[in-house]
Structure formats: C-alpha cells, structure tokens
Structure 1
Amino acid sequence: MSWMFLRDLLSGVNKYSTGIGRIWLAVVLIFRLLVYMVAAEYVWKDEKEEFECNIRHPGCENMCFDYYFPISQVRLWALQLIMVSMPSLLVALQVAFREGRAKRHRKKLDVSLGTMGLWYTYLTSLIVKIGFEIGFLVLFYKLYDGFSVPHLVKCELKPCPNTTDCFTSKPTEKTIFILFMVIISCLSIVLNFIEVSFLVLKCLMECSLQKYKTQVVSV
C-alpha cells in the first residue's frame, strides 16, 4: 500500500477539520505512520525466523508460532491505521461531490462544518473512528492476552511431543512499541471524543441562539 496516498487523503480532509481534528491528524501521521514505517517494520522484520523452540521436531515451531501470534502485530497495526483513517474518506467524498455540484451550477461552495450535511458526515466519521480504535484495542488484547510480548511461551500443541519452551525475539523492545501504540490509540480516542463533544455542543448553542433570535424577531 502507498502510505503517501493515505497522507494525501488525510491532509485533504484536514482543511475542513476543527483545531482538535488537526491535532488528531498530527497524531496519526507523526506518532503512528512514521513510527510504523521507520521503526516497527524493522523490529518485527524477522519475527518468525527468530522464534525458537527448544526442540527441533518437524512442524512444532510453526504450530506454536501460529497459535501465539495468529496475526503479525505490526500488520494488525497497519490494518488499524487504515481502518481508522478511512472514515475521513466519507468527508472527502462528500466535499468532492458538493464541489462538483457547485461547479456545475456555478455557485460558490460552502464547505464549512456549519453546513448540516457536512456536519453529520464529519460527526459520523468521528464516531466510527472511536469505534474502530476501541475495537482494535480489544482485538489486540484478546489475540495476544495483553499488551506485552512474553520472553517465553510454553507450547503443548501437536505435533510437539511434549511441553515445549519457545522463545520470542526482541520481547522487551516489542513491548515498548506496543505500549506506545496503545497510548497513541487512547489519545486518539480522547481527541475524537472531545471533538464530538465540541461539535455537538457548538450545534446546540447555535440552534439555541437561532431559536432565541427567531423569538425576538417574532415579538
């Protein structure tokens, strides 16, 4: 996948975001994308080759590795990054549609979040992002039984003839990266939740103000 495409997509949506949304974009691009590209792929590069068991029985190592690491952690991060970023595509598509329609009718386009159609789409994208963030944290915890990489796992799966000790590669380094990414996910959830609250509160205040003005005019 071209990560530059993802960067351009998020940057295009950025100009229609609130200040909190721009902070979220920085979190995604700097603390996630760059860490993933520069560091994580290197740390997890040879995880299968460096997973060693104290017995050389055919198939034993493969079965144990597949059981304890059913999905590569770094690939799960990549999937999380893609899924969390894709709701922004909803906003980009709606803006593109509105721009095309305005161009056909030769009208000036209003793409501020004050327009209700775009407001609903943007709010929906934030709620979906929060759902994906929480879902991936739960999935990660369930798959790996926590947010750390053990130094040693004991495997009793066939075709291993008996209980086998297997050793993971770079467990401390991987655990540090995992905890860092968990913190970033939690920060992303908090930022999205604050932005949702801000948009809803702003909408309620504007509606109340508009209702008040209507009442004053009618009197």
Structure 2
Amino acid sequence: MGEWGFLRSVFDNLQAHSPMLGRFWLFLMLMFRILILGTVASDLFEDEQLEFTCNTLQPGCKQVCYDKAFPISQYRFWVFHIVLIATPSIVFLLYATHQNKKKALRPKSRRSSIQNYQDDRRLRRLYIINVIFRIIAEVAFLVAQCKLYSFKVPAQYPCDRFPCPYTVDCFTSRPMEKTIFLYFYFGVGVLSAFSSIVELFYSSIKWFCCNQEDFDLEDRACKNLQNFRQDESGKKTI
C-alpha cells in the first residue's frame, strides 16, 4: 500500500481546489479505484501468471500463451489508467499551489487585485482543460478495456503459438472473480466519465456567468475612473 501514499496526498490536496462535482470524482477515485485496487485486486492479480497453467511441458509455451491471453495485465492496465488521469490533476495542483503562494505575498492594492483576478481566470481555464483531458482518458480506457478484455475472463484459452507443439489448452486462475472486477471497474469508469461530463458543463456555465459579471464590474470601474479623472482635471482648470 505504500506506493499509493503519494497519490492519496495529491488527491487530498486537490480536493481543496475542486468544486462539489470534482470532489465526487475524487471520491470515486479514492474509494472505488485506488483503495480497492490497492487492497483486494492486488491480492487477486499478483500471482495470475504463476497460476496460469497449460497442458504441456514445452519450454516457452506457457509464456507465449499468457502473452496472447493477456497482452497487458488487468491490474497494470488499471494502475496505468489511474496514473494517467492523475497526471493533469497533479499539474493543476502544482500550479494552483504556486499561484496561492504568490497571491499571499502580494500587498493589498488595486494592481494586486487585478493580478489576482487574472490568476483566478487562468486557474479556471486550467481546471477546465484538466476536466476535458480526464473525460478523453476515461472514454479511451473504457474502449480499450472492452477491446482487450471484453466483459468476461474465460477459464480456458486455446493457444497454438510457437513454440507450442500443437494447440494446447491453458487455464487461468479465478476467472469468475476477475470477471466481476471487469464489470466493477467498467461501471466505475462509466460513472466517473459521466460525472466529469456533467462537471465540465457546470464549470463552463459557471465560468461564463462569472466572466459576464466580472466584465460588468470592470466596465463600471472604468467608467468611475474616467469620471474621477474628469472631475480632477476640471478642478485643476478652475
């Protein structure tokens, strides 16, 4: 479980910079992916190659048949999935932490408030890009899982690859449990992708509304500043 400590701390820190829908996605990642993958699935898949047996003693036949049956292990596939999705979130977290430190060091003035507003806009854009990349990765991995494993782990694999002397039968361990995990992770992936799509629409609409309000406030501030300068110039001429 030690290898998951870094990802857990990253997602805990990312929660402070995420909206409610983003926190729901984090909950799915932590509870239904990382926690289960690091506990139950690790014990289920750690000895899958050792327990993959073929009805032949030909050297090398078992290895090539296992490679044909599992081009990539389901466990490593899901770990790679989590790491790939976590990468843009880590980038966003590092950028947000850097901007928060810069904001804390700025003195309170009109210029610093404008810079803070610009930094907040960049954070919103980066977060939306993060959500878009997450949706693409979720959908891509769902399609890849369907093509690689379908929805069932067969108990028996016929194999005729060299150096097997003939078509041999190979048998995988605990196929029913692995099939259940395939359904489970596919369902979590669908739910995660759906929540990310809803989050994208919600964040985009909220950002658009905030931009409209900020634009109105900036327009009013510019008009007030122009009126103030005109008053000052009129007093000087008098």
- TM-score (normalised: structure 2): 0.82
Q: Distance in 1 between matches of 2:106 and 2:213?
A: 32
Following TM superposition, by how much is the alpha carbon of 1:93 offset from its aligned partner in structure 2, in angstroms?
Answer: 1.4
CA distance in 2, matches of 1:203, 1:34: 33
Counterparts of residues 50-89 of structure 1 (less than 5 Å): 50-89=51-90
Match of 1:184 in 2: 188
Kindly, what percent of the aligned residue pairs are identical? 33
CA contact (8 A) 2:155 2:171 kept: yes
Q: CA deviation at 1:73?
A: 0.9
CA distance in 2 between counterparts of 1:45 and 1:89 reads 28
Calculate the TM-score normalised by the size of structure 1: 0.88
Residue 8 of structure 2: aligned partner:
7
Distance 1:98 1:38 in 2: 36
Contact 1:13 1:88 in 2 (8 A): yes
Task: Spell out, residue by residue over 1:101-132, the C-alpha distance to the aligned partner (whole angstroms, 9 max, x if none).
Answer: 234434589989x9211000110111111111
Distance 1:142 1:71, change over 3 A: same
Give the structure with the larger helix fraction.
2
Contact 1:16 1:111 in 2 (8 A): no
Query: Given that residues 129 and 192 in structure 1 are in contact (C-alpha distance below 8 angstroms), is that contact kept between their aligned partners in structure 2?
Result: yes
Instruction: Work out the CA distance in 1 between the residues paired with 2:4 and 2:23.
Output: 18
Q: Cα RMSD (Å) of the superposition?
A: 2.5
Equivalent position of 2:136 in the other structure = 131
Confirm or deny that 1:33 pairs with 2:34.
yes
- Is 1:148 aligned to residue 157 of structure 2? no
Instruction: Give 1:208 deviation, angstroms.
Output: 4.3
| Distance in 1 (alpha carbons) for counterparts of 2:22 and 2:15 | 7
Unaligned runs of 5+ in 2: 224-238
Aligned with 2:17: secondary structure? coil
Structure 2 CA distance for aligned equivalents of residues 18 and 97 of structure 1 = 19
Q: CA deviation at 1:211?
A: 6.0
CA contact (8 A) 1:91 1:121 kept: yes
Q: Secondary structure at the match of 2:10?
A: helix
**Aligned twin of 1:206:** 210
